[in-house]
Chain A
């Protein structure tokens, strides 16, 4: 399991943290990889801090516990940066991706993070523009595959299209696809 990538998602109830964590695992599996996606179940309330987990590997994944030392941390809500230790256990060369209006440098300063790579994107604004409501999870998947080459952008877009076409109309699908593409383009590294 040398190639195992572990991702921890931090969000608030209602932001689609579980959906994003699971979607990424499903997409990896659909493309021949091994994957695991699960949330941390607690009292489920809108707005309460919650975590999601994704594991992706080319070989079978035996491990079944929470992710304590992630390779990647994704934060869907930047108000969590001060209330939670989101980078706890993040590997030295790990990557932190935050949905925020500020730059990677400002995030580093705020949480005093010296190592690894930091990425930021305004996924909330993107989702407001493209989907019409604050749903940062979909664009964050676009930003994530730019920040870390886990899966091809094209693969993500195809999968979203396939999954959403069962439930949503064309407008919603197009909005979601656009939001992913935009986040992929707009994510900043620092």
Chain B
């Protein structure tokens, strides 16, 4: 039976991990991920899961242990944040390159320095090209739903890749809100038994994992990785639909909110998408044709969907919660502009870098962004990149 509970994002993530009941979890604590692993390790101690929990001495070791266990054929998970992910980075890249199916919640936090424990997306953006899939969650419910779906996506034979599921540090990870938890049996059935493709422990069919791969085959292996990531596009859609049937909550790679007739569309990731929805509701009551395009899957990035939705708009605002130094706007902005290149209609696209290090973004600021778009449409003059909520 479905249960309605009051949970934080981290508790919701831990609930999903309990229901997945992974064979192996290797993790190291880091704020704001720590409470997720607290909750999960309690499930281990209470015998609620059969997981072998390995408490390692660093995140580099956590990811290394996960690669070992997943290669052996075990269903494997870990979780981290910010500098923990940075310390893992070398092995994060290897996990994707070895086509290791694995799920890792990353509770988004600003990457030092200066040292800061609060939310921005610099940590996961730092490994956007590592070959991992990346699913962003708007709230605790999506954190729960995404972790469950991610396991299926990672293990799908057309994909076989690790998946990061992100949610905003503190804003979601430490906020108590309403979450619907599916019945344990339902999740168990949805996840299914895991049959690894080529487990190391299958000694009758020996394989080598991670050997030297020089100029004769390296390029071909990288090319295959591209197919794996691109294949995830359809798999994420199919699994999102299937999940919708059992939960009442369907998922795609993007979510459209009031975009049908929208002249001004904001594009965002994570919890800010929720705050923008509240602003859209308010401005719609005043007759403004505003909408939101929420990106759920940052990797693979759904270029064609994004283009077909945004080309109808008269102006676009892209919200980036991280900086890409020296580039044409933030990481999301680059994707959005790239998606629109080649389209006949290219509405003005404005970039708003905001919320770094946990700086709050309120509804008045978002209203201001829609007003900027209105002005841009009227005058065709605008500032391409703005830093929202910064003192300068």
Q: Give chain A's interface residues, CB within 8 Å of chain B.
A: 1, 22, 25-26, 29-30, 34-39, 41, 60-66, 68
Contact = CB atoms under 8 A, between A and B. Distances in A.
Contact of A63 (B172, B178, B275): B275
Contacts of A66: 360, 362
A62 B177 contact: no
Given A25-B176, A63-B278, A30 B6 contact: yes
Contacts of B5: 29
B386 interface: no
B272 A64 contact: yes
B195 to A, nearest CB: 38
A41 B118 contact: yes
Contacts, number: 70
A65 B362 contact: yes
B176 A65 contact: no
Given A41-B118, A68-B362, A62 B274 contact: yes
B182 interface: no
B175 interface: yes
B278 A35 contact: no
B108 interface: no
A41 B275 CA distance: 19
Interface in B360-381: 360-364
Contacts of B274: 62-64
A22 B5 CA distance: 13
B63 to A, nearest CB: 27
B312 interface: no
A29 B12 CA distance: 15
The 9 closest A-B pairs by CB, nearest first: A38-B175, A62-B274, A26-B6, A64-B271, A29-B6, A63-B278, A62-B277, A37-B176, A29-B178
A60 B249 CA distance: 14
A68 B363 CA distance: 9
Contacts of A37: 6, 175-177
Contacts of B277: 62-63
A30 B117 CA distance: 31
Contacts of B361: 65
B6 A61 contact: no
6 contacts: A30-B6, A41-B118, A61-B177, A64-B172, A64-B175, A65-B362
B281 interface: yes
Contacts of A39: 174
B257 to A, nearest CB: 9
B259 interface: no
A65 B278 CA distance: 11
Interface in B156-181: 168, 170-172, 174-178
B4 interface: yes
A26 B7 CA distance: 8
B176 A26 contact: yes
A154 B389 CA distance: 43
B178 A35 contact: yes
B174 A41 contact: yes
A113 B314 CA distance: 45
Nearest to B171: A64
B177 A35 contact: yes
B180 to A, nearest CB: 11
Contacts of B272: 64
B139 interface: yes
A62 B275 contact: yes
